[in-house]
Amino acid sequence: MMLSSNSGPLLGDPSSRRLCICSIFNAIAFFSMVFVIGTSFVSFDFEKMTTAVDITRGISKTYPSNLQSHQANSRSHGSNLGPTQSSSCKSPCILSGAEQLPQGIVRRTSDMEVVPLWGPSKGKENISSQKSILAIPVGIKQKDLVNRMVMKFASSDFTVVLFHYDGIVDEWKDLQWSDSALHISVINQTKWWFAKRFLHPDIVASYKYIFLWDEDLEVEDFHPERYLKIVEREGLEISQPALDPVKSKVHHQITARLRKGDLHRRTYKFSGGGKCYKNSSAPPCTGWIEMMAPVFSRTAWRCVWHMIQSDLIHAWGLDMKLGYCVQGDRSKNVGVVDSEYIVHKGLPTLGGFDNKTASPDTPAANDRFAVRQRSYIESEIFKKRWQEAVAEDNCWTDPYPEPKTNMRQY
């Protein structure tokens, strides 16, 4: 009763009423300010988290400003989605360029398989999980060599891709496998130029291994099925068949065939330049292959493809960095298979065969000397780009720092 009787006069006082209303307004303003500031921090943290997820997964780098723009576009295109849509729908994994599509319709990958114009499509589910790719740059002068090579792979589960660097395609049609192969023709381009443009990781994602071979190889003693069994058993992500040391043009000792065992991962050289000892840990002593007949797992190829420079078409210097693209230790996951070996004839295909024109005074487009000169220049450019990239990337740590000394150890 006392509360009731006392409250009447208090509420009836105009000054008291104003004081009460002001207090309520102040409280509302205070809580509104807290809500706005708190929401800003939550939004900022969410943006930072989204950016971190994007960078970690390697899908696409979405910075806060881009995310805000994307959110604004999403609101403008889908403001009628209703208030019940969860914030989890705004996935940071949506592919760049596919934000306006439902995720179920997006297809990140493709393949090199032909599709019939009519009738039922074979479909991706019918592509063997064991299927691989054999890709070769070819010129008509090496037709017989290439034919024998492809016939070795014809009975295996391989898709064959020919890169015609001389523009001649029709003269291959008489070969029994020609119609089932893919023919891509661009004049005077190298294997690595073709690979960068036509073997994107998302295009070859369905294939287990990528054989990116030169055309001047003899494969009489090579069997693809046996080779891949050894590669899988030994966990080799980057490999090559050994070279017959008698019949081949061998540039690096590590590629020469050893007669004992199925494979080797390092070489030993105690005299001359570029010595290799038991404790040598860098290419070309270990973790290294040459570039005439490399074989990549799909995982390794995804990394290698990104390292290929579009303008450095000879890819000189790339071989020294291939070991960075294996999962784990390059001295274990890069190797040379001895029991399945080949012959490298070392034919100077690009640039022609006319040595009479090979002089510093005549660097013509078909001059072999000019091709060699360009290769050396590219090697220096690649080396410089690697050094600059390492210096600029503060977030990258070299898993293979150069040893301060090369101690002799037998």
For residue 355, which amino acid is it? Answer: N
The two three-digit tokens of residue 265, written as one number: 């991962």
pLDDT of the residue at 308: 98
DSSP 276: B
pLDDT of the residue at 3: 39
**For residues 256-295, b (16+ Cβ closer than 10 Å) or e, as one string?**
bbbeeebbbbbbebeeeeeebbeebbbbbbbbbbbbbbbb
Of 297, 284, 291, the residue nearest 237 (C-alpha): 297
Interatomic CA distance for residues 223 and 342, integer angstroms: 10
Q: What is the pTM of this model?
A: 0.74
For residue 9, which amino acid is it? Answer: P
Interatomic CA distance for residues 373 and 379, integer angstroms: 10
pLDDT tens over the chain, length 410 residues: 443 444 443 344 444 444 444 455 555 655 666 555 555 444 444 444 444 334 333 333 433 444 344 444 444 444 444 445 555 555 555 557 888 999 899 888 999 998 889 988 765 555 677 899 999 999 999 999 999 999 999 877 999 999 999 999 999 999 999 999 999 999 999 999 999 999 999 999 999 999 999 999 999 999 999 999 999 999 999 999 999 999 998 888 999 999 999 999 999 988 877 889 999 999 999 999 999 999 999 999 999 999 999 999 999 999 999 999 999 999 999 999 999 999 999 887 776 544 444 445 554 445 778 888 999 999 999 999 999 999 999 999 999 987 644 455 54
pLDDT of the residue at 62: 38
Using CB atoms within 10 A of its CB, is residue 2 exposed (0-12), middle (13-18) or buried (19+)? exposed
Question: In 10 A of CB 59, how many CB atoms?
Answer: 16
pLDDT of the residue at 224: 96
Q: How would you classify the pairing of strands 209-212 and 263-264?
A: unpaired
3-state secondary structure of 407: coil
Interatomic CA distance for residues 332 and 328, integer angstroms: 8
For residue 361, which amino acid is it? Answer: D
Confirm if 341 and 348 have CB atoms less than 8 A apart: no
Query: Structurally, what CATH architecture does the domain formed by 128-350 represent?
Result: Alpha-Beta Complex (3.90)
Of 44, 101, 37, the residue nearest 68 (C-alpha): 44
Longest dimension (CA), the chain: 122
Q: Using omega within 30 degrees of 0 as the cis cutoff, is the peptide bond preceding 284 cis?
A: yes
Confirm if 100 and 178 have CB atoms less than 8 A apart: no
DSSP 400: S
Interatomic CA distance for residues 50 and 64, integer angstroms: 8
pLDDT of the residue at 86: 54
The two three-digit tokens of residue 266, written as one number: 């390092």
Query: What ranges do the domains of the chain cover?
Result: 12-74+89-108, 128-350, 351-394
pLDDT of the residue at 68: 44
pLDDT of the residue at 94: 53
pLDDT of the residue at 361: 52
Of 340, 73, 379, the residue nearest 227 (C-alpha): 340
DSSP 296-328: EEHHHHHHHHHHS-TT-TT-TTGGGGGGGGSSS
pLDDT of the residue at 167: 96
